[in-house]
Amino acid sequence: MDVLGKLVLVFFAGLITALATGIGALPFFLVEDVSDRWNVALWGLASGIMVSASVFGLIFEGLSSANGGSLTGVVVGLAVGVALVVVSHRIISGAEVNPKQYEEANFKKLVLILGILTVHSFPEGVAIGVSFADLGFEGAPEIAGFAVPLLAIFMTVAISIHNVPEGVAISIPLHAMGVSKWRMVWWSVFSSLPQPVGAVIAYYFVRTAREFLPMGFGFAAGAMIYLVASEFIPEALEVGEGLPGGGHRELLSGLTAGVLLMVPLAFI
């Protein structure tokens, strides 16, 4: 597969995760509301999958991808990944996007919104791109004739699952505004469009400068783990405030299911 073909495949994987955000709007085609219990469980499932994929996939891969210096690279990458998320959040502090603004935005405002969303979801795209670093190498499972790393498959699925409850969260205020169901799907997908772009950039970088591959794996893992701790779990607990036990039971059940689902990644 030529370079352009590989970039297209990586972009397509990122696009799949973006489209998965639109799935979060689909329940509103069937019901008027999505229960908080299911929302919390989905956030927990996504968190468990993301942390497991980061530890069993990205970090383990980073430690085995280079020479003896790979540990230092992974650790440095972890620190940089966390730092990026922290700095990004400070940059957009006070500029959080309310989905209600989507329908009311003019072109300038949409550009601003997309910029904020890029800062918010770019690390997830980076994780996808880095996981494709060994694309085309022998021994990888084949999909449609392409040798795709197993880690890339797991990471694409993990981020797609995470994006579903995010799509639900975006669709709830739009539904309350009376926005049409298909437009809710579009705006949900729109919120994750930076992911395929981030995936292509990260993939191209780690393939061009393979000596930085351990750092790239650590960077993606650090960003993902910190996002889970600082955003996903707090979001789940906020949604579950009105549930018995504050939603902790549903969150723990989802986390456990997510971890168990990804444990095989450590042994493959």
Could you state, in chain order, the average pLDDT of each consecutive group of 10 residues for the chain (268 residues)? 81 93 86 79 85 83 65 87 81 64 63 65 84 72 72 85 81 78 87 88 83 83 87 86 88 89 69
Answer for the pair 114, 97: CB distance below 8 angstroms, yes or no: no
Predicted confidence at residue 213, as pLDDT, reads: 80
Q: What is the number of other CB atoms lying within 10 angstroms of the CB of residue 3?
A: 10
Q: How many CA atoms lie within 13 A of 261 on its CB side?
A: 20
The domain tally of the chain equals 1
pTM of the entire predicted model: 0.74
Answer for the pair 124, 17: CB distance below 8 angstroms, yes or no: yes
In angstroms, the CA 182 to CA 81 distance is 35
Tokens describing residue 230: 């600082």
In angstroms, the CA 54 to CA 257 distance is 16
- Residue 106 DSSP label: -
3-class DSSP state for residue 137?
Answer: coil
Predicted confidence at residue 67, as pLDDT, reads: 46
* H/E element, 146: strand 146-147
Whole-Å CA distances, 104 to 10, 107, 116, 177: 33, 10, 16, 11
Instruction: Note down the domain range covering 201.
Output: 3-267
Tokens describing residue 194: 């930076």
Predicted confidence at residue 31, as pLDDT, reads: 74
∠ CA 171-175-180, rounded to 5°: 100
In angstroms, the CA 214 to CA 216 distance is 5
- Amino acid 221 reads A
In angstroms, the CA 50 to CA 158 distance is 6
Q: Which residues contact 3 (CB under 8 A, 6 or more apart)?
A: none
Predicted confidence at residue 212, as pLDDT, reads: 77
Predicted confidence at residue 179, as pLDDT, reads: 80
Predicted confidence at residue 68, as pLDDT, reads: 47
Answer for the pair 203, 102: CB distance below 8 angstroms, yes or no: no
In angstroms, the CA 26 to CA 172 distance is 11
Q: Give me the residue label for tokens 């950039």.
A: 201
